[in-house]
Structure 1
Amino acid sequence: MTKTAPVMINGFDPAKLASLPERERRLIERRQALLGPSYRLFYEEPVHPVRGEGVWLYDAEDNAYLDVYNNVPSVGHCHPHVAQAVAKQALVLNTHTRYLDENILNYAERLLATFPEEITRVMFTCTGSEAVDLALRVARHYTGGTGIIITENAYHGVTAAAVEISPSLGPNVPLGQHVFTVPAPDPANANGRDVGEVLAEEVEKAIAFMMRHGIRPAAFIADSIFSTDGIFPDPAGFLQKTVDVMHAHGALYIADEVQPGFGRTGTHMWGFERHGIVPDIAVMGKPMGNGIPIAAAVMKAEVQDRFGRDIRYFNTFGANHVSIAAASAVLDVIRDEKLMENAAATGHHMLEGMKRLQQQFACVGEARGAGLFLGLEFVKNRESREPDGALALAVVNGLRRKRILISASSPYGHVLKIRPPLPFKREHADIFLESLAAVLTELA
């Protein structure tokens, strides 16, 4: 039986290859021949950047593209302080964690100091997917359970274990047999009830279902912004009841901070802190090193101790000297350039601007967000909130033609996913808002 090709939001359609300029067409043909069909490109007209600086990417003709999407270069593309730290360390030493070294310990202390005092251990990996994979292993070993609860359109990574808890990858990537989904915490679907209570009830139902089938719960994992479900940050605090449910059943709460972490939400360093909760495990990914491969899982000591006593863990080049240098430089930049404060101020300005667009255009549904992680919903009907993914895709590609880079989220692809590098300032926000208004006017 032949499976249909999985649909990727804002993916380039290879059937339209002939419509592209010769240079891009030849590059794509080489990609297809060398990398195979799994690799996807963004946009109807793929972007070919050759250099980056701050919140800008540049093509071979030196045209500037405003980056309103990429969270991995968290402190900006090619930040000189990070680049210099990497280059300096690469000339000195770069090896693994099975030799003694002070740099990894110094960084571990700095990183853990940004977390609640209950979290005192860190385990390093190279990618966020590996960190998620490790967190699942630790949770299952600690609890003795195997059941994992996720939201219906979650994404948590690309390892064998992580794809099993990533339904957003599509129907050709089956969920694990002990993986159970709950609806995303969309206040519009709570029928006026407290969204935290509704989510906790759904989690309780999932636990009852799995236990009825002889499956013991191990963990609930979510990113606190629910980025692939459609971006649902509010009301702040609604996750506490879900934490309580998991703990009542001897299971853990895992916070996936790959996207909302490192000050992105503006008011706190970590997304889970907006909700006043302390996870048992938190994971982070490549924004930690501004794109240099480094990631980690941090956790409570009692959770890690049992795993550490029973299982030898190593990740050959997780937290190598060069990656640690990059990660340490990222913390410097977030502090010295006050990027968390900038995320709060610029994010508020963007959210207010999007709410004005909501008054101007009937196709704009809800605008929502926290700091520099925002979502703008497109609907066919405001009362029914019927999603309009086709319009959102047209907006994404209309903005790309104006050299504004953005993408979309939700199961229907109807929510603009806005998460630029953290140095994104008010003047950049205004460029984005003006371009967005122009595209909406053109489409109308």
Structure 2
Amino acid sequence: MAADQRGKAETLALRRRLIGSSCRLFFPEDPVKITRGQGQYMYDEQGAEYLDCINNVAHVGHCHPVVVQAAHEQNQVLNTNSRYLHDNIVNYARRLAETLPEQLCVFYFLNSGSEANDLALRLARQYTGHQDVVVLDHAYHGHLSSLIDISPYKFRNLEGQKEWVHVAPLPDIYRGPYREDHPNPAEAYASDVKHVIDSAQERGRKIAAFFVESLPSVGGQIIPPAGYFPRVAEHIRGAGGIFVVDEIQVGFGRVGKHFWAFQLQGENFVPDIVTMGKPIGNGHPLACVATTQAVARAFEATGVEYFNTFGGSPVSCAVGLAVLEVLEKEQLQAHAAHVGSFLMELLRQQKAKHPIIGDVRGIGLFIGVDLIKDEATRKPATEEADYLVSRLKENYILLSTDGPGRNILKFKPPMCFSLDDARRVVAMLDAVLTDMEKVLSSCATLRLQPHPPKDVGPCVCALDREQT
């Protein structure tokens, strides 16, 4: 029987039997079976259309015909490893170089963002001769063992922090120690990194690198204050380390104003290494590390060959070139700026209307909506966020949560996400929040009665789950 002919229940039963349970599904209580995608939409086995607000891998849209055709045509001619001369790999490297500062001119191609960050770690250690890494709290840089070690989001649930890993505060001006009313949060958060470095050096540790997502995603859709990266770079380089930016979630024009999110930190800031993944191949397994000649030469001086069986293959590079072509011809970077600004304005209007929305932050099509229990404490509204996502799914809108409190609604849709899509999402968000507020108000009224009903449980649990 073809997979798309199975009922959802049968597919779910097979998955539970054959796939590791740690490979989790979205909406585990009622998962969606997706059989087709096109643009910013996904379709289940019954043909129902879902608006995809979170799939930043399908960067230029699910199954974009130009990307699909490029892979198909190259697959019919040749697909082999990069030990043979082929034009695709050099053409692609040249096109990527045109988007980056001129110092970042050496490229290594791989299959995944995790592989890219692992290679970046090796490059940094070889170049500096040091071992230690500074990372931000709540960071996630990949699933390899080396990257779990530098991902507080993961290692705090496992064996804990290694002695060569040093964690600095997340530069979150909504929840962190230096907030929106601080006169210079960039300098304050950068000073915290300096304190972390100094403390490590006092113990005889030597810093190889500072790893940072240009816009921390798992940490809660964070926008670091402008000027933070340049000041941190001064501290890191002063300690003999290098600066690595992880663009795996947010690169390739998503921020609208620039092609790369690190460019939000100023035109004079240039990292030593940039890692890329996810959107780079629009769903094809492709990743890249870009670095300087100096870092690359130090790596080559080991005499150990770097080889990746599938990285830089003719098909992968054809796909990468096609993604860049679509971004340019369809002007998706400018589109992200326009639609993202429109969506942010609609969400800010909802913030003024619904007290549960504590903060709306973002740039381009990278946006977070921070849900809170109350304004004074900014306590994360975790249960409410989970309920809201569930209700949106019932109304054929796919959204998810992130952040340490799992209370941040994250918007990272395909770049073809439209103004009408923005209106639709926010209208449904408004409807669900309005419904939630009515139920919460009813719960509060019942609790104030002299003899409240015994079956009135937690307010969120009492919310009516009927479709809006």
Aligned counterpart, 1:219: 209
1:83 aligns with 2:75: no
Aligned counterpart for 2:245 among listed residues 251, 255, 263: 255
1:30 corresponds to 2:14? yes
Aligned residue in 2 for 1:190? 178
Given that residues 154 and 229 in structure 1 are in contact (C-alpha distance below 8 angstroms), is that contact kept between their aligned partners in structure 2? yes
**What pairs with 1:29-428 in structure 2 (closer than 5 Å)?**
29-43=13-27, 44-169=29-154, 171-172=157-158, 174-188=160-174, 189-191=177-179, 192-276=182-266, 277-310=269-302, 311-428=304-421
Deviation digits for residues 82-126 of structure 1 (CA, Å, limit 9, x no counterpart): 000000000000000111111100110000110011111111111
Q: Do 2:186 and 2:226's aligned partners in 1 also have CA atoms closer than 8 Å?
A: no
Q: Which residue of 2 aligns with 1:5?
A: none
2:170 partner letter: A
Structure 1 gap segments, 5+ residues each: 1-21
Matches within 5 A, 1:423-442: 423-442=416-435
Percent of pairs with identical residues: 39
| Conservation of the 8 A alpha-carbon contact between 2:114 and 2:147 | yes
State how far apart, in whole Å, the 2-side matches of 1:177 and 1:442 are.
49
- Tell me, in whole angstroms, the C-alpha distance in 2 between the residues paired with 1:30 and 1:392: 30
- Count of aligned residue pairs for this structure pair: 423
User: How much has 1:160 moved relative to structure 2?
Assistant: 1.3
Question: Against the structure 1 CA distance between its residues 395 and 180, is the aligned structure 2 distance closer, same or farther, given a 3 Å change threshold?
Answer: same
In 2, Cα distance between the equivalents of 1:113 and 1:363?
44
Q: Name 1:11's counterpart in structure 2.
A: none
Query: In structure 1, how many angstroms separate the alpha carbons of the residues matched to 2:239 and 2:55?
Result: 37
Instruction: Give the Cα separation in 1 of the matches to 2:271 and 2:232.
Output: 11
Instruction: Render the CA deviation track for 1:305-346: whole Å, top value 9, x for unaligned.
Output: 110221311111101111111100000000000000000000
Aligned residue for 2:315, secondary structure, equals helix
Deviates more, 1:198-207 or 1:65-74: 198-207
| Alpha-carbon shift at residue 234 of structure 1 (Å) | 4.7
Match of 2:447 in 1: none
Conservation of the 8 A alpha-carbon contact between 2:381 and 2:407:
yes
User: 1:218 Cα shift?
Assistant: 0.7
For 1:176 and 1:274, locate their aligned partners in 2 and report how far apart those are by CA, in whole Å: 31
- Taking the aligned partners of 1:259 and 1:117, their CA distance within structure 2 comes to 22
- Report the alpha carbon displacement of residue 27 of structure 1 after superposing the two structures with TM: 2.2
Do the aligned residues in 1 keep the contact of 2:107 with 2:289 (CA within 8 Å)? yes
In 1: Cα distance, 2:37 partner to 2:161 partner: 37
Instruction: Check the 8 A contact 2:40/2:52 in 1, yes or no.
Output: yes
The alignment's TM-score, normalised by the length of structure 2, stands at: 0.88
Aligned partners of 2:232, 2:204: CA distance in 1, in Å? Answer: 21
The AA in structure 2 aligned to 1:230 is: G
TM-score, reference length from structure 1: 0.93
Q: Deviations over 1:143-163 (max 9, x none)?
A: 111111111111111111111
Given that 1:282 and 1:297 are in contact with CA atoms closer than 8 Å, whether structure 2 keeps it comes out as yes
Q: Secondary structure at the match of 1:187?
A: coil
Contact 1:143 1:251 in 2 (8 A): yes
Return 5+ residue gaps in structure 2 as ranges.
1-5, 438-468
Larger Rg: 2
Q: Is the Cα–Cα contact under 8 Å of residues 163 and 175 in structure 1 kept in the other structure? A: no
